[in-house]
């Protein structure tokens, strides 16, 4: 089947980039065209999301073209589709892509190239979340590196060359392992497919079903670790996180939004889709065997990340480290896959999935507001700030909402995800969950201290001339605030879809 709908969504940004490259010269026009394209794509994605049939479940809106690589024996297909797991990720990507485009309207340096790379990046990420062929998934995963490298190194600040290179090297190292893992799976007797899921309507039997009971080329545990390495670097999980603060600090605002909001989620998505989805019935090794390792790494990430966050003096670096802590909650939720007495409650996995979406919107808003502060105060160094709320009340409110959401305030989206993770994991990993839950207290510490030092206190005369956010600045802010409040008050918007995907993922 080839409905074409998802292909349009995935390649619309790339097509827009092509139009800019070929036809548009005027900076203002480029800007509005790019924003228009991402907003249009967001509308299409919202329609897709609403159109997703929760009752039917399974993979929907399939775009399949079998002879994509006309090579005998290489059963790689062009296969796009969404299920309950990827649909909300698609929504998140659409939202943050539009936000990132809006947040870029102050860019004046090499505007055309900038938007071209930003749009290409969006295509790559959308591809990752919709590709259901492992090789295609990998290609999208890799393509994303090129625009990221360009965006950080050309439009970044500080040691942008170093940070961009560091980002690329780390991801490449991870994906080198992933490629070996993918090929080892494919080359195993009895697998012989790149399909990441089974789609009965198309007659596709995916890897999760095929690996059940069959012996793999190399031990399943080795393959699992090869794949896991890529995801752990991407999320990032302690101790592979050290590329993240550098990349964030030196990236332009919109790129930080994309990086924290969407790119890290590729790691979490891979962890769920691949590490959990494919390795529950493999011979000789099951993901349940290493659930303890996931739990331990998760708790270290949460606590260690939070503690290091407290020490940071650069606003962006601070938020970057807080992401290490918050992505730890995703992994902690995933670690509940081992279940109690052979029975898995989906709460932890659902919480993990929800945490990805909520962290995306919350951190997106945090980086967005830090960008607004930086545009005005021209510094992100916290000791130089203070008293900004007097001149920048709107930005202060936006940052406060994002901060409160980040520390897990009920009524905002972070809480629902975190409480689901804790409830789902406590039965499985009692003490580790208790330690991990302390991350919530630490989060309150670094967020409120950051607010105090940045926005509160007496007005500083140096900031006399600062102007608060204008209408255009507020459009993406309001969009993210609405989504944070909406999920916080009525989480079913997302959980009703996720739970379909998660229940299909858990095979035991």
Residues in 359-378 that interact with another protein by CB under 8 A? none
Q: Compute the least distance from the CB of residue 34 to another protein, in Å.
A: 22
- Please say which residue, 114 or 138, places its beta carbon nearer to another protein: 138
Residues in 342-361 that interact with another protein by CB under 8 A? 344-347, 350
Residues sharing a CB contact under 8 Å with residue 115, sequence separation 6 or more, in sequence order: 17, 20, 30, 31, 33, 34, 101, 104
Q: Which two tokens stand for residue 49?
A: 């999301």
Contact status: 437 vs another protein (CB under 8 A) = yes
Of 158, 438, 468, 475, the one binding another protein (CB under 8 A) is: 438
Taking the C-alpha atoms of residue 131 and residue 62, their distance in angstroms, rounded to an integer, is: 10
Site track 169-198 with another protein (rule: CB under 8 A), x = hit: xx-xx-xx--x---x---------------
Contact status: 217 vs another protein (CB under 8 A) = no
Size of the site for another protein (CB under 8 A): 82
Q: In angstroms, how far is CA 145 from the centroid of its own chain? A: 15
Angle at 364 between CA 459 and CA 350, to 5 degrees: 130
- Please say which residue, 37 or 259, places its beta carbon nearer to another protein: 259
Q: Which stretch binds another protein (CB under 8 A): 108-116, 188-196, 369-377, 436-444?
A: 436-444
Q: Give, as one character, the DSSP assignment of residue 144.
A: T
Q: Compute the least distance from the CB of residue 404 to another protein, in Å.
A: 6
Q: Compute the least distance from the CB of residue 344 to another protein, in Å.
A: 8
340 DSSP β-pair partners: 343
The DSSP secondary structure of 355-397, one letter per residue, reads HHHHHHHHHHHHHHHHHHHHHHHS--BGGG---GGGT-HHHHH
Of 25, 50, 55, 72, the one binding another protein (CB under 8 A) is: 72
Taking the C-alpha atoms of residue 294 and residue 286, their distance in angstroms, rounded to an integer, is: 13
The total of other beta-carbon atoms located within 10 Å of residue 340's CB is 10
- Please say which residue, 149 or 374, places its beta carbon nearer to another protein: 149
Of 318, 502, 504, 505, the one binding another protein (CB under 8 A) is: 502
Q: Which stretch binds another protein (CB under 8 A): 140-148, 268-276, 363-371, 462-470?
A: 140-148
**Helix 111-130 crosses helix 145-155 at what angle (to 10 degrees)?**
150
Residues in 10-29 that interact with another protein by CB under 8 A? none
Residues in 275-314 that interact with another protein by CB under 8 A? 304, 307-308, 310-311
Of 230, 498, 504, 505, the one binding another protein (CB under 8 A) is: 498
Residue (of 308, 282, 152) closest to 220 by Cα position: 282
182 SS3 class = helix
Taking the C-alpha atoms of residue 102 and residue 392, their distance in angstroms, rounded to an integer, is: 19
Taking the C-alpha atoms of residue 166 and residue 145, their distance in angstroms, rounded to an integer, is: 11
Beta carbons of 145 and 169 less than 8 angstroms apart: no
CA dihedral 280, 86, 61, 81 (to 10 degrees): -60
- Please say which residue, 35 or 352, places its beta carbon nearer to another protein: 352
- Please say which residue, 94 or 236, places its beta carbon nearer to another protein: 236
- Please say which residue, 61 or 320, places its beta carbon nearer to another protein: 320
Taking the C-alpha atoms of residue 4 and residue 1, their distance in angstroms, rounded to an integer, is: 9
Contact status: 33 vs another protein (CB under 8 A) = no
Of 54, 159, 459, 462, the one binding another protein (CB under 8 A) is: 459
Contact status: 273 vs another protein (CB under 8 A) = no
What values do phi and psi take at 398, rounded to 5?
-60, -45
Q: Compute the least distance from the CB of residue 32 to another protein, in Å.
A: 26
Contact status: 146 vs another protein (CB under 8 A) = yes
Residues in 392-411 that interact with another protein by CB under 8 A? 404, 409-411
- Please say which residue, 62 or 87, places its beta carbon nearer to another protein: 87
Of 15, 43, 47, 69, the one binding another protein (CB under 8 A) is: 69
79 SS3 class = strand
């Amino acid at each position: 089947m080839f409905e074409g709908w998802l292909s349009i969504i995935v390649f619309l940004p790339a097509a827009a980039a092509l139009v800019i490259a070929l036809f548009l010269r005027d900076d203002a026009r480029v800007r509005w065209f790019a924003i228009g394209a991402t907003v249009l794509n967001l509308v299409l994605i919202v329609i897709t999301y609403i159109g997703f049939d929760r009752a039917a479940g399974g993979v929907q809106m399939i775009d399949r073209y079998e002879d994509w690589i006309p090579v005998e024996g290489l059963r790689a297909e062009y296969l796009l589709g969404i299920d309950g797991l990827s649909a909300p990720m698609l929504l998140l990507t659409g939202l943050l892509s539009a936000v990132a485009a809006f947040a870029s309207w102050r860019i004046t340096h090499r505007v055309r190239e900038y938007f071209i790379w930003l749009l290409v990046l969006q295509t790559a990420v959308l591809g990752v979340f919709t590709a259901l062929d492992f090789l295609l998934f990998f290609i999208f995963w890799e393509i994303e590196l090129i625009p990221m490298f360009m965006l950080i190194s050309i439009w970044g600040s500080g040691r942008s060359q170093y940070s961009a290179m560091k980002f690329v090297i780390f991801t490449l190292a991870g994906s080198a392992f992933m490629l070996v893992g993918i090929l080892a799976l494919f080359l195993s007797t009895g697998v012989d497919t790149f399909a990441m899921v089974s789609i009965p309507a198309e007659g596709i039997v995916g890897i999760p079903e095929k690996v059940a009971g069959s012996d793999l080329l190399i031990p399943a545990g080795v393959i699992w670790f090869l794949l896991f390495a890529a995801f752990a670097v991407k999320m990032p999980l302690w101790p592979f996180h050290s590329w993240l603060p550098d990349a964030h600090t030196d990236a332009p605002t919109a790129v930080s939004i994309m990086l924290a909001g969407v790119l890290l989620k590729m790691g979490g998505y891979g962890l769920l889709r691949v590490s959990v989805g494919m390795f529950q019935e493999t011979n000789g090794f099951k993901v349940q065997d290493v659930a303890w390792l996931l739990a331990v790494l998760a708790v270290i990430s949460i606590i260690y990340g939070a503690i290091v966050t407290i020490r940071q003096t650069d606003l962006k670096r601070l938020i970057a480290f807080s992401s290490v802590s918050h992505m730890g909650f995703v992994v902690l939720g995933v670690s509940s896959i081992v279940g109690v007495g052979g029975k898995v409650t989906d709460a932890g996995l659902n919480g993990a999935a929800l945490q990805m979406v909520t962290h995306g919107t919350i951190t997106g808003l945090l980086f967005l507001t830090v960008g607004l502060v930086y545009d005005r105060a021209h510094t992100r160094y916290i000791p130089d700030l203070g008293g900004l709320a007097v001149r920048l009340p709107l930005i202060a409110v936006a940052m406060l909402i994002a901060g409160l959401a980040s520390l897990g305030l009920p009524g905002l989206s972070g809480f629902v995800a975190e409480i689901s993770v804790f409830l789902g994991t406590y039965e499985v990993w009692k003490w580790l969950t208790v330690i991990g839950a302390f991350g919530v207290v630490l989060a309150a510490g670094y967020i409120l201290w950051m607010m105090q030092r940045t926005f509160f206190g007496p007005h500083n005369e140096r900031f006399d001339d600062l102007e608060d956010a204008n209408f255009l600045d507020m459009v993406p802010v309001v969009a993210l605030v609405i989504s944070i409040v909406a999920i916080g008050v009525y989480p079913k918007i997302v959980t009703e879809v996720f739970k379909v995907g998660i229940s299909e993922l858990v095979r035991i």
